[in-house]
Structure formats: C-alpha cells, structure tokens
Structure 1
Amino acid sequence: SQADDAFFADNMYSNWGEICANIKSHVEQYKKAMNIDRASATIEDLKALMQNLPAAKQMSSSVTKHTTVVSHLSKAIKDRRLLDISLLEQNMASENSANEHWQRIVDFNEDRSVNRADIARLALIYNLKYEKAAKGSKAEQLLLGTPYATHVANLRAYFGNRNTNATFNSGVMKSVVSYIKGFKDEQNIYTQHEPLLRRTLVALAQGKLDAEQFPYLAPPTNPNFRPKEVIVCMLGGTTYEEAAMVWKLNADPAAANGMKVLLSAPAVHNTRTFLRALNPEME
C-alpha cells in the first residue's frame, strides 16, 4: 500500500509512460547507492556503506518488486497491443474519421492475439461515436457469433437514442459538448481524454455549474457561494481514470480554487465489469 511503499505512493496515479520513466530512475538511484569500488574503497567508504546497508536492502527489495511488476505489465501491453488499441480509442473520441477508424477496428479483429473484450470495447465506442440506432450497425455485425453479440443493442437501451431522438434535450446536449471539450491538445496522445466529471467539478468550484442540469436541493442564500468540500456519489460505479483525476484535483489547490473532493461509488469499473453489466448473463 502507499503507506509502506514510497514508490507505489508516488506512482499510484501515474500513467504508463510516467511509470516506465520513474522505474528507470528508481533503478539508477539504487545502482548509484550501491556503486563502490572495493579495490580502492577507504575505511570511510566501507563505514558509510555499512551504515546505509538497511536502507540499501530496502531499496533493493523495492527495485526487484517494482521492476518485476513493470516487466509483467509491459509483456501484457505488448502481447495485447494495448498501446495501439489505446491510441485508436483516443483518436475515436477526439477526431472524426469513421472509415479510417472502422478499418483499424477490422484490422484488430483479424489479429487473433487481440483480446475479444478489447474488440468489443472498440466496437461499442465506434457505435456511440458514429452509428445511429435507426441504421444498420457495423459494430453489431462485427460482434455476431461472439459473447458480446447483444452488447450494442443493450448499450443503445442503456443510453437511449442519440442526436435524432426528440427527447435529446438541451441539457443533455450541453453535457455532450462538455464531454467533447474534455480532450486536451497535448503531446501525450495516450492521455488526451479527461473525464466529464473534471469539467463538472471545476465549474462547481468556479460557481459556473448549470443549475438546470445540477439543481440545488436548497439554493444557497449567498449568490457568490463556492463550496470548499464536495462529496461526489457515482451511482453504478466510477472508473480509475475518474479516481486519478479527483486525486490530482485535490493535489493541486489552484485547479479547483482549493475545493476538496471525496469520490464515492459502489464499484470501480473496468472493461470487463462494464461489459458484464451490459449482459449480466455473461460469466
């Protein structure tokens, strides 16, 4: 846990690129700490080594543990082509190129090393981004004959019809616009997306949250009221991305005017748990 593992505490919410860079630095620090030329070592050098031996042993254990974990993660990422898949996910969310994105999904589907749950996730994202319920769904056709054959229809039932639906009111449209704006123009193409929750919390901290979308149970008497502590309850579950975002928001007082956020949810979802929620009959 972060209470007894400094490296884990420092990297608990880091992305993959940051973890790789930090584990390299961690190894270099250990090598530097243990670098002693026994042939030319003085008594003072040996005394200093002995004094630092407990810390060196602890660092050795930490280096071994975390390099082993990162090695296993690296192999899984390579075997499952997760960097390529992540890039396509980010591209689909932040760009409009239906034909290109579909062809890349087809290419992934033809690669038997790619996990079928990852294919299902890509197909569902494509359906949300590009397909209308009234038209034939390529995503649905792609998943026929797989355990995820009903997931596109279930996803539509979960979210309802989009754009063409007369009940798709302005409040929902504002949420979608905010969602689309939640993509950062930055060099790290694997972390372009920011959760809608972040924009919601920042707007709340700045006193700009839309009261129609987020009505007060009891409106504040002071029109300039700015909350200092907020509890967010994510019904149905939250994600690790949202948890990391809340942690970073709390760690940076300037990001939300010093407002502190407590994130509460009955579960933390990943792809498999969300796919299972769309079809509870799946094992």
Structure 2
Amino acid sequence: QGSSSLCRNIAERVSVKLDHETAVVGESQAIPFSDVLLLVLDRCEDPLTPLLNQWTYEAMVHELIGMHNHRVSLRSAPGISKELEEVILDADVDSFFEQTRYCNFGELGTSLKGLVDSFSATTRTRGVVQSIEDMMRFVENYPYFRRSSGDVAKHVALSAELSRIVGNNSLLEVSQVEQDLACREAEHDHRTAVWELLGNQKVSIRDKVRLVCLYYLRYESHAARDVIQLCNRLRDLGASLSDVDVVQSIVQYAGFTRRSGDVFSNKTLYARAKNKVMRGVGGIDNVYTQHEPLLASTLDQLLRGSLPSA
C-alpha cells in the first residue's frame, strides 16, 4: 500500500532483507521470489471490520468466549457437565469443526440438528429436536450419545453458550445497527438507533463504545456535537475514561483524513448516490453480514490484475 509510509517502510525493509539473503547464499541457491507477492496493508484503511460483531462459528467462539491454543473454557456456562468444562477446537482432529468453522450461526444450528436427528433415527430414540435448548436436553438425557459422539456434544454445548451470550447481550439488535452503520448513509436513523441501544441495559459497555466509534467514523465530518453527547452518555452509564478515549483515538488513528480509500462509499457525491441506489435495488440477503471487508475487494483487484500500485 504505497499511500502508507508504514507499509512502504516494511516493504523496503523486506526487500533489503531478501537482497541480503540472496547475496549470502548466491542466486543459484536463493529461493525464487519472482512469482511471490507480499501484500502489506495498513489497518487504518479499514477500521470497520474489527469493530463489528462476527457471526461465523469460529469467530464467535473467539469473540464471545475466548480460545487459547485451541482450548475453550465453558466453566462459566450454566449447568455445564464436568467433561465439557474445557473443550478442544481443532479442525485437524475435529471433522465437524472443520466443516462448520466458517458457517454462520444459523447454518451451524442446522448442521447440529442434522447430526442429532441422525443419532435419534439410528438408535430409534424419541424426541422432537427443534432448538439448541432441545439439543442440550437430548445430550443430557442420553449419556450414550455424549460418550459416542463427544465432538457433537461439545459443539452443542458451545452453541448453547453462544446462544445464551447473544441473547443476554442483545447482540442481534446491536449487530443489525452496526451493519447498517457500516453500509448505509442514514444519519438520523443511526443517531436514533445508537441512542436507543445506549439505553438498553442488556448491551455491554464494550458494544456501546463500538457503536459510538462506528457512528463517529461514518459521520465524523459533521457529527462532533452528537459524539460529545454520546460520549457523555457513555460516562453516565459507567464507561471508564479509557473506554471513552477510544472514541477519539480511533478517529485520530483511522479517520477520514488518514484513509486513502473510500471504505464507507461516502467520500464523493457519486459514491454516496451509488451506494444508496445499489442498496435499494440489490436488497439484502442477511442484515447481519451486509458488510464486506475491504480486504475482499483488495484481493479481488489483485487477482484481476487491477490493483493500483500506490
């Protein structure tokens, strides 16, 4: 990314290092780099993606529960059995996780239900399984299933905990507003929606801060007064000084003047009009996954050979 001095510096240092390695081992033994492309990007070009709640399985586990060295602790999950207090998520040894790690939460539930239904049919057990709660009861009522299908029982427990966290923190409502902020110009609607969520006691301070950050990033050129009021509201709700400082810091780091691209599609009148027209004509398949990371379009340009050199 030629517009970023940081990226240029890294690229130049890598180039010097490669030249040095080639000189040391000789050109005949050096690794051929002619067909290799190193893409160095500055995070400030896309501050949106890290601020959005994620809805694919592996990302949700990382974001909402936490995973370290493939280990996930479920000790805080209500009613969790002893053998499921800590579980392993590793696609190399868990075929179900390999198949579903990038599935959205709805697809995950469908896959789990299929496995439970298959077990029910094989063992001729009775019971209607329509929800994650039904799956949890099924696992508890049939210890044999838990022993013979440990991976599935593990994923049922994880899904139940994710579902509990989503509900307890109103993440569906939060995510819908986040996605709309990332993808659409509607300042009045967004201001109203953010204020409403700030008043929602189920929404965490962390998510409230992220909403204000998204609002400020999109409307920073003329929303200073609104943001001051929103930050004051965050303080009233118990947000720490460091939490509130994040709102200003993120604009200083990745605000309008720091970004060379048009991540919000609102830098020009044409871009704003095109954004609104496309949203109106194309429709939305899933309100929780409207946003497409800038990296996706960058890689697409790269594959097409149309990526700008600067």
TM-score (norm 2): 0.54
Closer, same or farther in 2 for the Cα pair 1:134/1:102, shift >3 Å? closer
Taking the aligned partners of 2:114 and 2:308, their CA distance within structure 1 comes to 45
Cα deviation for residue 140 of structure 1 reads: 2.9
Q: Identity of counterpart residues, as a percentage?
A: 26
- Contact 2:197–2:208 at 8 Å: present in 1 too? yes
- Contact 1:26–1:63 at 8 Å: present in 2 too? yes
Closer, same or farther in 2 for the Cα pair 1:129/1:176, shift >3 Å? closer
Taking the aligned partners of 1:28 and 1:69, their CA distance within structure 2 comes to 18
Counterpart for residue 289 of structure 2: 191
Taking the aligned partners of 2:223 and 2:210, their CA distance within structure 1 comes to 21
**Aligned residue runs from structure 1 range 219-238, under 5 A:** none
Closer, same or farther in 2 for the Cα pair 1:107/1:79, shift >3 Å? same
- Contact 2:218–2:264 at 8 Å: present in 1 too? no
User: Is 2:219 aligned against 1:153?
Assistant: no
Taking the aligned partners of 2:210 and 2:186, their CA distance within structure 1 comes to 18
User: Is 2:235 aligned against 1:144?
Assistant: yes
- Contact 1:98–1:130 at 8 Å: present in 2 too? yes
Unaligned 5+ runs, structure 1: 38-54, 213-283
Equivalent of 2:168 in 79, 83, 92: 79
Counterpart for residue 204 of structure 1: 302
Counterpart for residue 35 of structure 1: 124
Closer, same or farther in 2 for the Cα pair 1:94/1:134, shift >3 Å? closer
Q: Greater helix share, 1 or 2?
A: 2
Taking the aligned partners of 1:149 and 1:57, their CA distance within structure 2 comes to 46
Counterpart for residue 41 of structure 1: none
> Pairwise CA RMSD of aligned residues?
3.1
Deviation string, structure 1 residues 181-222 (Cα, Å, up to 9, x no partner): 79985411111111111111111111111112xxxxxxxxxx
Taking the aligned partners of 1:57 and 1:104, their CA distance within structure 2 comes to 43
Deviation string, structure 1 residues 235-262 (Cα, Å, up to 9, x no partner): xxxxxxxxxxxxxxxxxxxxxxxxxxxx
Equivalent of 1:70 in 159, 183, 189: 159
- Contact 1:178–1:196 at 8 Å: present in 2 too? no
SS in structure 2 at match of 1:76 = helix
Taking the aligned partners of 2:221 and 2:158, their CA distance within structure 1 comes to 42
Taking the aligned partners of 2:160 and 2:179, their CA distance within structure 1 comes to 25
Taking the aligned partners of 1:36 and 1:75, their CA distance within structure 2 comes to 27
Equivalent of 2:260 in 144, 167, 172: 172
1:128 partner amino acid = L
Number of aligned residue pairs: give it: 188
Deviation string, structure 1 residues 125-176 (Cα, Å, up to 9, x no partner): 000111327832243333335221212221122124x2xx5xx7xx814565
Counterpart for residue 80 of structure 2: none
1:155 partner amino acid = I
SS in structure 1 at match of 2:260 = helix
2:196 partner amino acid = D
Taking the aligned partners of 1:144 and 1:2, their CA distance within structure 2 comes to 42
- Contact 1:133–1:156 at 8 Å: present in 2 too? no
Taking the aligned partners of 1:174 and 1:114, their CA distance within structure 2 comes to 30
User: Is 2:192 aligned against 1:97?
Assistant: no
Larger displacement relative to structure 2 (173-182 or 115-124): 173-182
SS in structure 1 at match of 2:285 = coil
Closer, same or farther in 2 for the Cα pair 1:185/1:195, shift >3 Å? farther
Closer, same or farther in 2 for the Cα pair 1:107/1:76, shift >3 Å? same
Taking the aligned partners of 2:283 and 2:184, their CA distance within structure 1 comes to 12
Taking the aligned partners of 1:178 and 1:135, their CA distance within structure 2 comes to 18
Which has the bigger relative contact order, CA under 8 A and spacing at least 6?
Answer: 2
SS in structure 2 at match of 1:2 = coil
Closer, same or farther in 2 for the Cα pair 1:158/1:28, shift >3 Å? same
TM-score (norm 1): 0.58
Taking the aligned partners of 1:155 and 1:95, their CA distance within structure 2 comes to 20
Closer, same or farther in 2 for the Cα pair 1:134/1:66, shift >3 Å? closer
User: Is 2:217 aligned against 1:128?
Assistant: yes
1:159 partner amino acid = A
Cα deviation for residue 108 of structure 1 reads: 1.6
